Amino acid sequence: MSMTWWRQRYAVVSVLFLVWVTSYLDRMVMATAIPYMADDFGLKPVTMGVVMSAFFIGYALCQIPGGILATALVAGRSCY
């Protein structure tokens, strides 16, 4: 095995980790920021709920296709 292979592996893992951290922070900050956004835009509680629901439904809808793609494309090669 060459050093290039290890560098590529660690580069991919590093990018995936940064994307995961960004996604986690995005979800966490959204719950904290919604009251301030509501004040700025004059949103009522019902509208705040719609905004939060739309934001989290996007995450939920991407979970199943993302899991299927991850299983189909990566799991077979990474386990062996």
Q: Where do the H-state alpha helices sit in the chain?
A: 3-41, 45-70, 76-78
The pLDDT of 9-14, averaged and rounded, is: 87
pLDDT at 31: 82
Give the separation between CA 51 and CA 43, rounded to whole angstroms: 10
pLDDT in tens, 14-73: 998 998 899 888 888 888 888 898 999 998 999 988 988 888 888 788 888 888 887 877
Question: Is the distance from CB of 2 to CB of 19 less than 8 angstroms?
Answer: no
Asked whether the predicted pLDDT for residue 76 surpasses 60, the reply is: no
Q: By residue range, what is the domain housing residue 53? A: 3-78
pLDDT of residue 46: 93
> How many domains in the chain?
1
Residue type, 5: W
Residue 55: the pLDDT is 80
